[in-house]
Amino acid sequence: NYNKSRIHSFRGAKDVAITLDGRCIFKGEIARASGGILGQTDTFGDTILFTMEDDILESMSQYDETYEGEDLFSARVEDIQRPLTAGEDDVRPFTSAAVNFPKESPPQQLSPTPEDYVPTIAATTTTKSLIGQRLKLNFTATWGDIHYLGLTGLEILDVNGDVIDIRLDQIDANPRDLNILPEYNNDDRTLDKLFDDNNITMVDQHMWLIPFSDGMDHTLIINFDTPMEVSGLRIWNYNKSPEDTYRGAKTVHVSLDNQTLSPSEGYLIRKGPGNCFFDFAQEIIFNNTSTGIASDNTAMDNVRGSVVESEEPSQDYESMIMPCGFVFQLQLLSTWGDPYYIGLNGLEFYDDHGQRIALTQSNIAAYPASVNVLEGVENDVRTPDKLIDGMNDTMDGRHMWLSPMLPNVINLVYVIFDQPMTVSMIKLWNYSKTSTRGVKEFALLVDDLLIYNGTLGQVTQAARGILPTCEAPIQYHTILFTNNKHIYEKEKRTVISNQNKDQDVQLTNDSRIMAHYNDPQNNPTVDQALRPKTSVPASVRKKFPRF
């Protein structure tokens, strides 16, 4: 696909139809290119196959320079039932709860386990108990799929935020599952999977899926034995794959004993991430009316703030619209020299009024989570929660986050909200303990939409003296999304500027390549066996010199 840069990759084609002698042989969506030059074939687009014959695929592999081994067309392909892509648009595509990978080797998960999840309720929210016996959820929209609607998990919370135990005989749904359709028989994605406590997963045998019809009701009813005090829901949306997350529920209307609890437009449910890099549970508190639907497009919302009359920010983009979304994702692409580790000291998010957003441990996650994912490393305190502990301008490793750089893995930092959050400014403190491990190139995505990429400055030990030319070191760097003149005047010295950046140059003579520009940072050759050891335990003993 179109691959000029990360920004321009959004110019790539999305919906494609291929005809052969006037007959449609393919109709579907192709992947966006990454905007870079690293990665496997699927990083740059999609492969469309018109055959699964082993002999033909084997012959193709002999002349395909991108073919990398037996695993490209492994046995897992044989288990996939390709959905219908041609013909009339009103044909429901086939879907199956088949295993897309061997059961003995599920996708590796380097993120915290479900036991590490710490459910929290915002301190500014006063939890209000509601007493009733019949709780009804009505799902009215998906994130784009016109045929199916699904969820991975569901929990009902009491007044203390604890989970209420639900038995299978207490729940009912209409439609109940896919087995009501004549073409399905014994599909595993049944109603009981919502309460099997296996929620952080990509295996669809632990999910619930029903046929969806736009404009119709899709209800889930929980009948308690006696009137219960309820305060909210915890929902894990459908998460089989990045493509299948569009089958997840988008809006839900909630009532208790026929008393409506949700806003008139319903509650907005966050789309699943399509991976298991973090716990994607979303909490909906019934008396918190701000969890209603803000708009149909949560990626870009309101324009607020006044225009700077004197001087414009020096960022390499026009910050005229403040981003609004559920999941803010930092893609950390390179360091300032260290090929093995990458880290940050801290980060802060500010809302559309310029007020710092209070973040808790349930709002922050990373992949890989920390250096503790390495073999032989445990109890290292440089975990993702240190990014929001408030101790950012420090040289103490106990208040930093550090993660290993692994082959073919992009390091990610997630900031997750239970409702769409408008952000006017983000402050980033780079890793200071070993400055070469600090982040250099990075990208920022909001609900999978790329909104910024740039270079984060390296921590330098500036001269501290009485010379008038000495400038104090910059403690943090700012990504500014508002033109509010008061905020800009305060932060203009820290706003990220990427004007001084190396250019990639390739020399040619009569269309013959004479020399490549090879940036060792972008094309690292790293021997994992030479990874240096690093450790910051919870208690650091102060060492005194011996005399």
**Quick one: pLDDT at residue 74?**
41
**Quick one: pLDDT at residue 501?**
57
State how far the Cα of 217 lies from the Cα of 232, in Å rounded to an integer. Answer: 21
- Cα 321 from chain centroid (whole Å): 21
Nearest to 428 by CA among 469, 477, 394: 477
Query: Which amino acid, 180?
Result: I
**Quick one: pLDDT at residue 1?**
93
Q: Using an 8 Å Cβ cutoff, are 280 and 367 in contact?
A: no
List C-alpha distances in Å: 128 to 68, 358, 418. 57, 21, 18
**Quick one: pLDDT at residue 175?**
94
Q: How far apart are the first and last CA of the chain?
A: 66
Nearest to 2 by CA among 46, 41, 37, 33: 33
Query: Which amino acid, 348?
Result: E
For 198-226, the DSSP string reads: --S---GGGSEEEE--TTS--EEEEEEEE
For 485-512, the DSSP string reads: HHHHHHHTTTB----S------EEETTE
DSSP H or E stretch at residue 262: none
State how far the Cα of 169 lies from the Cα of 137, in Å rounded to an integer. Answer: 17
**Quick one: pLDDT at residue 488?**
85
Q: Give 34's contacts (C-beta < 8 A, 6+ positions apart).
A: 3, 6, 9, 43, 44
**Quick one: pLDDT at residue 315?**
55
3-state secondary structure of 518: coil
Q: Using an 8 Å Cβ cutoff, are 275 and 242 in contact?
A: yes
**Quick one: pLDDT at residue 462?**
54
For 345-388, the DSSP string reads: EEEEEE-TTSPBPP--GGGEEEES--GGGSTT----S--GGGGG
Structure tokens at 66: 């991108």
**Quick one: pLDDT at residue 391?**
92
Q: Which residue do the tokens 């209409």 mark?
A: 174
Structure tokens at 166: 């639900």
Q: Using an 8 Å Cβ cutoff, are 474 and 447 in contact?
A: no
Question: Per-residue pLDDT tens for 217-248?
Answer: 999 999 999 999 999 999 999 999 999 999 99
pLDDT averaged per 10 residues, the chain (length 547): 86 93 91 79 83 86 69 41 46 63 43 39 47 94 95 93 92 94 90 94 95 94 93 95 94 93 93 94 79 45 39 52 92 93 95 92 94 90 94 92 93 95 94 94 93 89 51 81 86 77 73 67 69 79 45
**Quick one: pLDDT at residue 110?**
45
DSSP H or E stretch at residue 130: strand 130-142
